[in-house]
Structure formats: structure tokens, C-alpha cells
Structure 1
């Protein structure tokens, strides 16, 4: 695992991951992956990981670890994972400075 300061986990995202991890009995490790597809070209996928893999790039906040693979890191470098609650619902979101455009749902982007 390599520490990467170029991607951040917001305090609200860290708190939400901690709650989900405690509720499910899993480690507080959030995996962010970028996959081809979605209405704008790429889509974000979030999930709790059981462990940090040797090739993972990671950052930590408040006891919570955010992990990404190298390809994902290249696409989200300089960004932040946040957890946002609004009248429309609650969701993890990526503030990605590398995205040239995004879609209305906020879960896909293009570069």
C-alpha cells in the first residue's frame, strides 16, 4: 500500500464509512473504482473492502482508509470523496478536477 495525498476523503465521508463499517462488521476501508460506462463515459463505484491490497494507493482520515487502484488514481488525482445529504437523498460523491464533464446524476464523468 502506498499513501497518496493527491486524493482526499472528506470528514463527512469518513464518518459515514465508519458508521457503515460498524453496522456491517467490516473494516473501515472504502474502495473507489472507476469503470468504463455510465452516461458520460466513466462511472464511479464505491464499496467496502475487506483489506488493503499491496498494489492499492490509499489515504486515511479519522481512522477510515480510502483505497484506489492506479488507473482510478490517475483519473481522480486531486479530487475528494464526499458524502452529501440533501432532499434528493444521500450519496457518496467525487469532486473530480480531472472530469471535463459529468452527468446529472453525478455518478459518471468524462475526461
Structure 2
């Protein structure tokens, strides 16, 4: 590209990395339920956990998680209560959810 008036390709590439960092969101993940064993698969890698919901901020994710845990607390035998108790809020670019 011409020097002076045009944007260099390397500038666009840098903007792409910045945009990815700015637009990264948060995912609420939870262990899968094994119906055959009637329990949670807590020991499986995070890449195998279920994607429950997506949020723009960590605070939004954690707030939702806390709300669900509180709502399910009344039924201590409820498997979903335990599932959300073990759930995690992670960035959508976290290598652990990609199996890296």
C-alpha cells in the first residue's frame, strides 16, 4: 500500500486482535449430567462441559449463576442445584474450553 494516506495491512491486523480482546465475552459452563450414573461429570475436562449461557461481562455471568443457585437451593436433592453449584464463568477465549 502507499505510504502516507492508506492504512497498512499490519495496522488492520493489529486492530483485529484489539477487537477480539474487546468483544470477548463470558460463558457459563456446567458439568454434563450422566443419566446412566445419575450424577454430574465433574471430573471431565472443561471442554466437555455444557455451554449454559453467554454474557458480555463476568459480573453478569456471576450474577446469573448466583441467582440460579439461590433459586434451586430449596430443593437440595435437585441435580440441577448441584450442577449450577459446580458451574463456572469463563472467558469465551479460555483455552480450557477449547481442549487446548
Task: Report if TM-score (shorter chain) is over 0.5.
Answer: no
User: By percentage of residues, which structure has more helix?
Assistant: 2
Q: TM-score, normalised on structure 1?
A: 0.25
- Report which of the two structures shows the higher radius of gyration computed on alpha carbons: 2
Q: TM-score, normalised on structure 2?
A: 0.27
User: By percentage of residues, which structure has more strand?
Assistant: 1
